[in-house]
A and B are shown apart, each in its own frame.
Chain A
Amino acid sequence: MEQQFDTSKLGMWLFIVTEILLFGGLFVGFGLMQHKYPGEFLEAHEHLKQDVFGMPFPLYGAINTIVLLISSWTMVMGVNAAQTNQQKKTVRYLVVTILLACVFLCIKYVEYAHKFHDGLLPGIFYAHQSEDLIKGTHGYATFFAFYFMMTGLHGIHVLVGIGLLSWLVMRARRGDFTSEYYTPVDLVGLYWHVVDMIWIYLFPLYYLIS
């Protein structure tokens, strides 16, 4: 059992590396494009900020960062509960994690809805109606292409995470997990922390350009 657990974990870490490289490629692309259109990226990222007490502040992004960090904590607490044979607690922590993931997606939806409304769409769909359009369409459209690509891909990961967590809740309620066997909880936990980790990089790079 011990060996099986270690092997599964090793496999999960290999998968995590592929995830890091997948997002890494996109981050490098983003960096190159920011190098090419520094001014336009700076202006475009202002559209990710909201008006908070008269100051532009990346409200949605900041809240989402906090939500994901807390969800990472509930996840690890769920793993801990599974490790120590506390089935009810495991279920509770996993359900809270799912709820936080849903909160994340809801905020993301509100954010996307604003962008769609303003015509801040990726690539050829970019249709923002203002003088920006003439000033720097390429930079803007590129920024939003990367923004939607990366946050969208991250959002898909969150969705997959919700699916995996729901499956864990189902199994945990059935009493599948004990301190002897909690591999799935541990591995989904690792996945969930990677999703959190990607957001840790996305947040400053998109919302806090200066």
Chain B
Amino acid sequence: MSTHTESHSQHSEAHAHHGGPKIYTANLFALLFLTIITVAAASFNFGSANVVIALAIATVKATLVAMFFMHLIWDKPVNSIIAIAGFLFLGIFLMFDFLDVTSRNVYPPRNLPNMENATPTPDSMNPLKTPAPRPLDPAPAKAEAPAKAEEHK
């Protein structure tokens, strides 16, 4: 592997590029280091923060890749705007989905005090919720799971 670095002043071409082998190699080592951190962090139990920590480190790594390997830091800003917009919309997608599944049946509308007596949505029609033990719920149809498995053995 050559450690020869280019002196960019010699190459006065149309496209200015500011990255260089040194930066790329440093970035690689940073990424490898963060990989070790992720693996190490996974062996400790931080409770529900586990997935947050894993995703945070992954996002730092992805940002490093995008900034240096993908040249975003030296590019025209429009490319960064597109990339950030992509992640932003993905974030919105993720956020609202998790707001939904984590808040189901937790906050009944206040203007409907008699919700308890109303016909509840049967959980069999709720694809994201395992049947909760509620008095008015229809009996959960759990017995089919093992039977189905037998079929496809």
Write the residues of chain A forming the contact surface with B, with a CB cutoff of 8 angstroms.
Answer: 1-2, 5-6, 9-10, 13-14, 16-17, 20-21, 24-25, 27-28, 31-32, 35-36, 58, 62, 65-66, 69-70, 72-73, 75-77, 80, 83-85, 89, 124-127, 129, 133-134, 137-138, 179-180, 189-190, 193, 196-197, 200-201, 203-205, 208-210
Contact = CB atoms under 8 A, between A and B. Distances in A.
Contacts of B130: 36
Contacts of A21: 86, 89-90
A210 B62 contact: no
B70 A190 contact: yes
Interface stretch (B73-81, B108-116, B117-125, B133-141): B73-81
B149 A133 contact: yes
Contact residues of B: prevailing secondary structure: helix
Contact residues of A: prevailing secondary structure: helix
A127 B21 contact: no
Contacts of A28: 93-94, 97
Interface residues of B, number: 62
Which 5 residue pairs of A and B lie closest in terms of their CB atoms, listed nearest first?
A: A17-B86, A208-B42, A204-B54, A24-B90, A137-B149
Contacts of A36: 101, 128-130
A26 B58 CA distance: 17
Nearest to B60: A200
